[in-house]
């Protein structure tokens, strides 16, 4: 006898989230944000890249960034996932009016959700800048080199074009 899914249940979708920080012990901020992502409802964190140091994008008079990418399986809608990411950013101390490309305690961006293509105010999937940012593509290649970003190409191919100039692998911070 087969069971039908419960009313309102959603299928599991893979989602890839980029994390970045350059303030207040950035590597520790990334580790804390990863832990928060692992506690999201209807979501499981299944993959995590290494940590990478990268020069800042935009104004150069700020500390270098620490970047990483995680792979999730989620039943959240794209809008609910975005809301959850914004809530994590606020809990971690990021002001909602943080300047674009400026220093930040934490930045969480949806890179891709399955094969979805979304273009609406406040949410674009895949992330429109992902294909030209080696600090996103390099860690994404750690966990999903064969991933096809809809309309952009395969992660391994994007990395081959971008290279990893300016990036350094960082050690994981020690747990308390």
- pLDDT of amino acid 176: 52
* Residue 12 confidence (pLDDT) above 90: yes
- Is 107 a catalytic site residue? yes
- Is 34 a catalytic site residue? no
- For domain 24-169, give the CATH number: 3.30.70.560
- Is 10 a catalytic site residue? no
- pLDDT of amino acid 51: 98
The full set of domain ranges for the chain reads: 24-169
- Which among 81, 53, 90, 76 has a CA at the least distance from the CA of 166? 53
- pLDDT of amino acid 25: 94
- Is 50 a catalytic site residue? no
> What would the pLDDT profile of 126-144 be if each residue is shown by its tens digit?
999 999 999 999 999 999 9
- Which among 117, 147, 175, 133 has a CA at the least distance from the CA of 20? 133
Average pLDDT, stretch 156-175? 92
> What would the pLDDT profile of 43-78 be if each residue is shown by its tens digit?
999 999 999 999 998 777 899 999 999 999 999 999
> What would the pLDDT profile of 69-128 be if each residue is shown by its tens digit?
999 999 999 999 999 999 999 998 887 777 777 789 999 999 999 999 999 999 999 999
Among 50, 94, 119, 168, the active-site one is 94
- pLDDT of amino acid 144: 98
Among 109, 133, 138, 142, the active-site one is 109
Backbone angles phi, psi at 96, to 5 degrees: -65, -20
Among 10, 80, 107, 133, the active-site one is 107
- pLDDT of amino acid 96: 76
């Amino acid at each position: 006898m087969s069971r039908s899914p419960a009313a309102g249940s959603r299928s599991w979708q893979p989602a890839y989230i980029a994390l970045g920080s350059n303030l207040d012990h950035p590597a520790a901020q990334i580790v804390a944000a990863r832990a928060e992502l692992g506690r999201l409802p209807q979501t499981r964190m299944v993959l995590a890249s290494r940590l990478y140091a990268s020069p800042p994008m935009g104004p150069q008079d700020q500390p270098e960034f620490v970047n990483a990418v995680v792979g999730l399986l989620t039943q959240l809608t794209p809008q609910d996932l975005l809301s959850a990411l914004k809530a994590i950013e606020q809990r971690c101390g990021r002001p909602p009016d943080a300047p674009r490309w400026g220093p930040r305690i934490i930045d969480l961006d949806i890179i891709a959700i399955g094969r979805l293509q979304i273009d609406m105010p406040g949410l674009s999937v895949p992330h429109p800048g992902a294909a030209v940012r080696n600090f996103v593509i390099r860690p994404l290649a750690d966990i999903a080199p064969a991933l096809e970003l809809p309309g952009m190409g395969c992660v391994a191919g994007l990395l081959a074009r971008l290279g990893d100039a300016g990036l350094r692998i960082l050690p994981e911070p020690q747990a308390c």
